[in-house]
Homo-oligomer: A and B are copies of this chain.
Amino acid sequence: MNDSYLQFVNSPFGARLARSVGLPRPEVLRRYRADRPEFEGLVAIGGGREPRLFDALANLVASIGVTSVAHGSAGLWVPLATRHGLMTGRFEAAEPGSPGRLAALLFDASGIEDSSQLAPLYQFFHDTLRSLGKCGRIVVLGRPPQACASPRQWTAQRALEGLTRSLGKEAGRGSTANLVYVAQGAESGVEATLRFFLSPRSAYVSGQVVSIDAGGAGDTAGAHAPPAFDWAQPLAGRRAVVTGAARGIGASIASVLAAEGAHVIGIDIPSARDALDATMRQLNGTALAFDIAAPEAAAQIAAALDELGVDIVVHNAGITKDKTIAKMTDATWQSVIDINLSAQERIDDALLGAGILRDGGRIIGVSSISGIAGNRGQTNYATSKAGVIGRVQSMAPSLRARGITINAVAPGFIETQMTAKIPLAIREAGRRMNSMSQGGQPVDVAQTIAWLAHPGSAGVTGQVVRVCGQSLIGA
């Protein structure tokens, strides 16, 4: 739960020592606090040929109330910003050695149609990266490759992924870099996602690629148009189920969703009843003690939720029982698969079949970096967590008709009671082998889930977002 190295090297003495002997000094990540401004500072804007998302970006800049500066690659920005009534200026490189004064770098690559047109990306990041402050934000915007009209355009758009991931590794000092593909027609649905990636809420999310499709934005006239919401309390009036909510990451998810306005229904096993009750009391939530491993639990949960329905389902409950497969027992294999994967299937079938999960709803599964990369001693866990990715990919298409999204988060090394028990050397490797040189906090997972649960995230579905500080550990 406690990264004492991070604390030490950020103490006055520790920082001096680290500097003098050349130790790495992970940045203390800036995280969201209700009593501090969520957005502040200057945002530099860059663009390739025919940047088609500038209108959406101007709306965003106006909405979050920051000041933009236009890089030379974004000649169209200044007149556009003026039309939108924005304060704006021109980017000028900082003096060498002066502290970075930019809070974020935003590049609109949506109009790039050929690999020969990628140079403005180089020019923008070459000029601006040194001016990015601590815990800065880099967002590259493009078009979903698979929807591109020509192989050349697809190729150029796909190339952005290599750039963005490299920028995440170069930026350092707690900064993140992410790539957002915006489908044609989805331009009006980008705000919730861009707010997340520009906010301290995404402190531990870097190197990720997210697509926004027109499912939400394109359907504003339809039955599943996102209802009006308040950016300060976007989940007001929503009911959210969180499994495994008594403690740890689950309690953090419950807490963040409640802070966003949701009424939280926390589920945990009967033996955790006291902790669950205490957590839910704090949040004015509802506690439901069920063992999701029990075959009848799904029907019981559905019955308990039936009257008022539910808008958000977070499948957080999960267990680890690590052993190499040669030493693992049959029961150990089976219980991990059942609780981490099959129980999610049973619960969703019960809630969807009876219409208890309302139209426009949100399903979020908790996967894991182990489900992506596999892990020694976790054949059972990795299988279950890879299956969670399969659920998201398989169910997203059919749920679109009801305006329901389904996504997964895949945590990397998160500081919890569970990871505190890992032997020191392995724990240190897990903590440091990422672009932040530190583990994440439960709240980082919770904030990512809150973004996916957001009414403004209607265009984000079928996706897996890692909360891993851009962990080196991949696949």
Contacts and interface: CB of A to CB of B under 8 A. Distances in A.
B372 A474 contact: yes
A116 interface: yes
A63 interface: no
Chain A contact-residue range equals 35 or more
A146 interface: yes
A144 B371 CA distance: 17
A155 B340 CA distance: 12
A211 interface: no
Contacts of A154: 390, 393-394
Query: Which applies to chain A's interface (DSSP): helix, strand, loop or mixed?
Result: helix
A390 B145 contact: yes
User: Can you tell how many copies of this chain the complex includes?
Assistant: 2
Interface string A359-389: 0000000000011111111111111111101
A158 B387 contact: yes
A207 interface: yes
Interface in A29-45: none
A180 to B, nearest CB: 16
Contact of A155 (B373, B390, B473): B390
Interface string A147-190: 01011101111111111111111100000000000000000000
Interface of A: 115-116, 118-119, 121-123, 125-126, 129-130, 145-146, 148, 150-152, 154-170, 207, 324-326, 328, 330, 333-334, 337-338, 341-342, 345, 370-387, 389-391, 393-395, 398, 466, 471-475
Given A115-B341, A116-B342, A156-B387, 16 more contacts: A122-B334, A126-B326, A151-B391, A151-B398, A154-B393, A155-B345, A158-B389, A159-B383, A162-B370, A162-B372, A163-B374, A163-B382, A163-B383, A166-B378, A169-B376, A472-B472
